[in-house]
Amino acid sequence: MTAHVLQWVLSELASQRCVVMATVLNTSGSVPGKTGARLAMSSHEHTWVGTVGGAGLEHRVLQRCRELLDDASQPFAEVLTYGLNKGAKGYEVTPLDSLCGGRVSIAVEVMIPMPHVHIMGGGHCGEALATTLHGLGWDYSVHDTREAYVSEDKFPHAVERSSASVAGVLDGETASTLGRFSDILLLGHDWAEDQERLLGLLQLLNQTDVALDGKHHPRIGVIGSRSKWQAFEEAAREQGVPQALLDQVICPIGLNIGAQSPEEIAVAVAAQIMSLHKSVDPASATWRQA
Does one domain contain both 232 and 208?
A: yes
Does one domain contain both 163 and 139?
A: yes
Does one domain contain both 125 and 253?
A: yes
Residue 153 covered by a domain: yes
Confidence of residue 90 (pLDDT cuts 50, 70, 90): very low
Cβ-defined contacts of 237-245 (< 8 Å, 24+):
239/199, 239/203, 240/206, 241/199, 241/202, 241/203, 241/206, 242/206, 245/202, 245/205, 245/206, 245/210, 245/212
Does one domain contain both 185 and 139?
A: yes
What is the model's pLDDT at position 88? 45
Does one domain contain both 174 and 277?
A: yes
Better-predicted residue by pLDDT, 91 or 215 = 215
Residue 121 covered by a domain: yes
* Buried residues in 184-203 as b, exposed as e (16+ CB within 10 A): bbbbbbeeebbbbbbbbbbe
Whether the per-residue pLDDT at 87 is higher than 50: the answer is no
Whether the per-residue pLDDT at 97 is higher than 90: the answer is no
Residue type, 196: E
- For the four alpha carbons of 157, 159, 164 and 167, in that order, the dihedral sign comes to negative
Residue 96 covered by a domain: yes
Last residue of a domain, one of 90, 111, 132: 111
Beta-bridge mates of residue 20: 41, 110
What is the model's pLDDT at position 30? 67
Does one domain contain both 41 and 174?
A: no
Does one domain contain both 76 and 96?
A: yes
Last residue of a domain, one of 88, 111, 134: 111
Segments forming the whole domain that contains residue 172: 116-284
What number is the average pLDDT over the span 256-272? 95
What is the model's pLDDT at position 104? 83
What number is the average pLDDT over the span 155-164? 97
Residue 260 CA to residue 270 CA, distance in Å, equals: 14
Residue 289 covered by a domain: no
What is the model's pLDDT at position 254? 95
Q: What percent of the chain has pLDDT over 90?
A: 70
Confidence of residue 290 (pLDDT cuts 50, 70, 90): very low
Confidence of residue 100 (pLDDT cuts 50, 70, 90): low
pLDDT in tens, 60-74: 899 999 999 988 778
Does one domain contain both 280 and 156?
A: yes
- Does the pTM surpass 0.95? The reply is no
Residue 218 covered by a domain: yes
Residue 290 covered by a domain: no
